[in-house]
Amino acid sequence: MGSMLNTSPNASSSSNANIAKAKPKASAAIALGVVAALIGGAFVAGPASAKTSIQGGQNACKAAFQSQTPAPSSLRVDANETKATGDTLIYAYKVKTAGDDKVATATCTVDRTTSAATITMEAAPATTLAAR
Per-residue pLDDT of the chain (132 residues; tens, 9 = 90+): 554 455 555 555 555 555 555 555 555 555 545 444 444 444 344 444 568 999 999 999 999 999 988 889 899 999 899 999 889 999 999 999 877 778 899 999 999 999 999 999 987 655 555 554
Domain extents for the chain?
7-50, 54-121
pLDDT in tens, 64-98: 999 988 889 899 999 899 999 889 999 999 999 87
Q: What is the pTM of this model?
A: 0.56
- Whether residue 96 contacts residue 74, with contact meaning beta carbons closer than 8 Å, is answered with yes
